[in-house]
Amino acid sequence: MDYSQFFNSALARLHDERRYRVFADLERIAGRFPHATWHSPKGQRNVVIWCSNDYLGMGQHPKVVGAMVETATRVGTGAGGTRNIAGTHHPLVQLEAELADLHGKQASLLFTSGYVSNQTGISTIAKLIPNCLILSDALNHNSMIEGVRQAGCERQIFRHNDVAHLEELLIAAGPDRPKLIACESLYSMDGDVAPLAEICDLAEKYGAMTYVDEVHAVGMYGPRGGGIAERDGVMHRIDVLEGTLAKAFGCLGGYIAGNAEIIDAVRSYAPGFIFTTALPPAICSAATAAIRHLKTSSWERERHQDRAARTKAILTAAGLPVMSSETHIVPLFVGDPEKCKRASDMLLEEHGIYIQPINYPTVAKGSERLRITPSPYHEDGLIDALADALLQVWERLGLPLQKKQQAAE
C-alpha cells in the first residue's frame, strides 16, 4: 500500500484551491517591534510586521521580559508536572488570582492556550448541565466550535450578532431547558463587536447561561484591560469569560473566569486541564507582569486606537477597500484567494511588509482579505509606507480602488 499518496493528494487539493499555507520564518527584535528579521529563502531581510496579534507589543515590554528572565533564573524552566502532580507552582497561582481580579470574578483557571480553554472549557461546562442546549454564534472561532462539538449536546447556531434570531431560539427552547449562549466579544476577522448588553438582557430574561470569548479584547478595551465586557459595564452579568495570554498580553496560555463553583467543577472534570503539564513559571510571571501593567497604564490602549484610526484613515483616503470595522482590526478586502496570496507575497518580497493573507477556511470564500493589525509602535512613516506599497500592489494585480476620498489629514 502506498500511504504517501494519501498525503500527497491531500496537499494537492490545498494547492489547487490556493489555500496551501506557507509560514514566514521570522525573528522579532525586542525593543524594535514591529521590525523583525525575515529568514527568506534568499537570505535575511528586514521587514515590518503588520499582522501580529501581539497587539500592544507587550511581548517585548521590559517589565514582561524581565519577569520571565528573573523567574526562569530563580525557579527553572518547566512546571514539572500536571496541576495535580507537582505542577501547581506559585507564579501560576498568582496569575490565576490576577485574572480573577481583572474580570471581577471569584476565580479563574489557566489552560495551555486559549484554544484549549475554549475546547475543554465549553465542552466540560455543557456536559455538566443535564440536557443543555448550546446557542452558538455563526462566526465563533474554531476552538469554540470544537468545544461545542465535544460537548455532545444539542446545539443551534444563531446568525452572527443577531439578537432577534437568538431570542427566537431561546423562546423555542422553552423556559425549562438549560441553555448556554456562546459568543465572542470582538470578532477578529471583521473587527466587529457583539451586542453584549442585549445578549445579557436575553440571557437573564430567558434563563440562559453566558460564555464569552474575549480573546481579542483583553488588555485592549475597558479601563483596566478587562475587555469589551468591562468597557460596556456588563462583566458581572456574564457567567464565564474566556481569554488568552498570547495576544495583547504577549505571552502564552488561556483561561476562563467565573463563579467559584463553575471554575472548581471545570478544574475537577476537564480532561484538557487535568491530563497536561501546567504552564511554565516564567510564562506565568511574564503574563502577570503584562496584565498588571495594563491594569494601570492606558498609554498602550490609547496609542493602539490612535494608530488603528490613522491606518484606516490613510488607507481609505488612498482609495483602498478598507472593510468597515469598529475596532483595532483593519481588514482590507481582496475577494480572491490567488490575488490575496500574491498581494501578500509582493508586499513581503518587494516592500519588506509582512501581512499574511487570510483565505478560506478562516474566512468565507469570496471574502479573502489582508488583515492589518496596527500596534502602538507603528509610526506615521510606517503607515504612509504601507499605503504606498499597497497602492503599487493593487495596481499591479489589477485590484479595484475606491473613488478617492477627501484626505483625512
Give the active site residues: 247
By CB under 6 A, residue 230 contacts ligand PLP: no
Residue with cell 466540560: 124
Cβ atoms within 10 Å, residue 168: 14
Closest residue to ligand PLP: CB criterion: 114
Q: Are strands 369-372 and 186-187 parallel, antiparallel or unpaired?
A: unpaired
Sequence-ordered list of residues with C-beta below 8 angstroms from that of 104, at least 6 positions apart, any chain:
226, 230, 235, 236
**Cβ proximity of 358 and 367 under 8 Å:** no
- State how far the Cα of 181 lies from the Cα of 164, in Å rounded to an integer: 14
280: left (phi over 0), alpha (psi -120 to 50) or beta: beta
Stretch that binds ligand PLP, among 96-104, 110-118, 262-270, 295-303 (CB under 6 A): 110-118
Binding mask 170-199 for ligand PLP (x = CB under 6 A): --------------x---x-----------
By CB under 6 A, residue 273 contacts ligand PLP: no
Choice between 48 and 122, CB closer to ligand PLP: 122
By CB under 6 A, residue 316 contacts ligand PLP: no
In a 13 Å sphere around the CA of 201, the CA atoms on its Cβ side amount to: 8
| Residue of 57, 254, 281, 357 that binds ligand PLP (CB under 6 A) | 254
Q: CA angle, 60 as apex, 54 and 93 as ends, to 5°?
A: 80
By CB under 6 A, residue 356 contacts ligand PLP: no
By CB under 6 A, residue 158 contacts ligand PLP: no
By CB under 6 A, residue 284 contacts ligand PLP: no
Sequence-ordered list of residues with C-beta below 8 angstroms from that of 12, at least 6 positions apart, any chain:
none
Sign of the alpha-carbon torsion through 292, 297, 299, 305? positive
By CB under 6 A, residue 143 contacts ligand PLP: yes
- Grid cell locating 159: 446568525
By CB under 6 A, residue 115 contacts ligand PLP: yes
Stretch that binds ligand PLP, among 167-175, 210-218, 296-304, 379-387 (CB under 6 A): 210-218
Q: Crossing angle of helices 196-206/163-173, nearest 10°? A: 10
| Residue of 52, 71, 108, 113 that binds ligand PLP (CB under 6 A) | 113
Sign of the alpha-carbon torsion through 24, 25, 30, 32? negative
By CB under 6 A, residue 311 contacts ligand PLP: no
Choice between 188 and 316, CB closer to ligand PLP: 188
By CB under 6 A, residue 232 contacts ligand PLP: no
Sequence-ordered list of residues with C-beta below 8 angstroms from that of 354, at least 6 positions apart, any chain:
24, 26, 36, 38, 47, 48, 49, 50, 51, 347, 348
Reference 202, options 152, 252, 161; nearest CA is 161
| Residue of 19, 61, 89, 141 that binds ligand PLP (CB under 6 A) | 141
- State how far the Cα of 337 lies from the Cα of 19, in Å rounded to an integer: 7
Q: Give the strand order in the sheet containing 35-40.
A: 26-28, 35-40, 43-49, 353-354
By CB under 6 A, residue 34 contacts ligand PLP: no
| Residue of 246, 248, 286, 389 that binds ligand PLP (CB under 6 A) | 246
| Residue of 58, 134, 215, 238 that binds ligand PLP (CB under 6 A) | 215
By CB under 6 A, residue 55 contacts ligand PLP: no
By CB under 6 A, residue 137 contacts ligand PLP: no
Residue 292: what residue type?
R
By CB under 6 A, residue 375 contacts ligand PLP: no
By CB under 6 A, residue 213 contacts ligand PLP: yes
Stretch that binds ligand PLP, among 5-13, 108-116, 308-316, 369-377 (CB under 6 A): 108-116
**Cβ proximity of 75 and 232 under 8 Å:** no
Alpha-carbon distance values, 341 to 159, 250, 346 (Å): 29, 27, 9
Choice between 57 and 114, CB closer to ligand PLP: 114
Choice between 117 and 344, CB closer to ligand PLP: 117
By CB under 6 A, residue 120 contacts ligand PLP: no
By CB under 6 A, residue 161 contacts ligand PLP: no
- State how far the Cα of 45 lies from the Cα of 115, in Å rounded to an integer: 32
Stretch that binds ligand PLP, among 109-117, 220-228, 347-355, 394-402 (CB under 6 A): 109-117
- Positions touching ligand PLP (CB under 6 A) are 113-115, 118, 141, 143, 184, 188, 213, 215-216, 244, 246, 254
